């Protein structure tokens, strides 16, 4: 039976209205097409705080319902040994500057996992993989989050004409560390940040990896004694 043109019109109109309503209800300002920084990470949620241990001042930014340090941690642990959280054994924390420089002020310090676990100030903690993934989703998903979290300068192109810098929409300001790509024997720009999460191999921990030539945030694992990772603390 052939439908009346008027019936078809009203059915189409109803479908369109339902579709628009679903889009409006699901849009929290974080989708890939349109990112509303004023909604996701308003200026009112940004500021600074002082680490009471050494007086260093850090920027912070609020993204969704998370409050993140907006720069890498630069705290040097004084402890010669700390307790391994899983076993309770004494282990050695390692803290150093990039390229063994004496000045860590540019990108913060590099930590092995044992140092990273205890390094955050009181009221802050080393975020888990799940908390990092929440950040990625708040920034619009894995296709776009890396670019939106990167600083607007410092991510130098590998090939002429490339623009690998980010938009830094929420003031998160991820800066890279110059590293060496093992597979291509070429320079790459990367920032690897520890998480608190165990890898299925209990001797390893997960870290979030931001690499110059990858648009995605990659979660890899490393030995807990690896000492080339940075730390971004998350407020409790």
Q: What's the burial of 221, exposed, middle or buried (CB within 10 Å: 0-12/13-18/19+)?
A: middle
Residues 64, 66, 70, CA angle at the centre, nearest 5°? 105
Can you give the pLDDT at residue 15? 41
How far is Cα of residue 15 from the mean position of the Cα atoms in its chain? 39
pLDDT of residue 234: 98
Look at residue 231 in the predicted model and tell me its pLDDT. Answer: 96
Tell me if 236 sits within 8 A of 187, measured CB to CB: no
Q: Write down the domain spans for the chain.
A: 37-235
Can you give the pLDDT at residue 139? 96
Per-residue tens of pLDDT for the chain, all 236 residues: 454 544 444 444 444 443 434 333 334 454 555 789 999 999 999 999 999 999 999 999 999 999 999 999 999 988 888 888 877 889 888 899 887 777 887 789 999 999 999 999 999 999 999 999 999 999 999 989 999 999 998 887 666 666 788 999 999 999 887 665 455 445 567 889 999 998 876 668 888 988 766 778 989 888 888 877 899 999 99
Core vs surface per residue 206-215: b (16+ CB within 10 A) or e: bbbbbbbbee
Which pLDDT belongs to residue 9?
41
Burial of 3 per CB tally in 10 Å (0-12, 13-18, 19+) = exposed
Instruction: Give Cα 121 distance to the centre of its chain.
Output: 18
pLDDT score, position 5:
46
């Amino acid at each position: 039976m052939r439908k009346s043109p008027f019936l078809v019109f009203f059915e189409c109109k109803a479908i369109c209205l339902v579709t628009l309503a679903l889009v409006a209800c699901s849009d929290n300002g974080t989708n890939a097409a349109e990112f509303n920084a004023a909604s996701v990470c308003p200026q009112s949620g940004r500021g600074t705080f002082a680490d009471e241990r050494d007086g260093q001042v850090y920027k912070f930014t609020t993204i969704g319902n998370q409050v993140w340090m907006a720069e890498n941690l630069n705290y040097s642990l004084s402890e010669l040994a700390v307790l391994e959280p899983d076993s309770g054994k004494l282990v050695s924390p390692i803290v150093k500057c990039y390229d063994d420089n004496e000045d860590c002020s540019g990108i913060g310090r590099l930590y092995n996992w044992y140092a990273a676990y205890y390094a955050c100030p009181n009221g802050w903690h080393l975020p888990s993989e799940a908390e990092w993934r929440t950040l990625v989703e708040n920034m619009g998903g894995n296709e776009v989050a890396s670019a939106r979290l990167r600083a607007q300068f410092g991510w130098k192109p590998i090939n002429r004409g490339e623009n690998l810098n980010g938009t830094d929409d929420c003031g998160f300001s991820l800066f890279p560390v110059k590293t060496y790509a093992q597979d291509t024997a070429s320079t790459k720009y990367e920032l690897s940040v520890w998480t608190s999460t165990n890898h299925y191999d209990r001797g390893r921990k997960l870290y979030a990896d931001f690499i110059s030539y990858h648009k995605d945030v990659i979660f890899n694992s490393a030995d807990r004694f690896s000492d080339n990772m940075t730390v971004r603390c998350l407020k409790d």
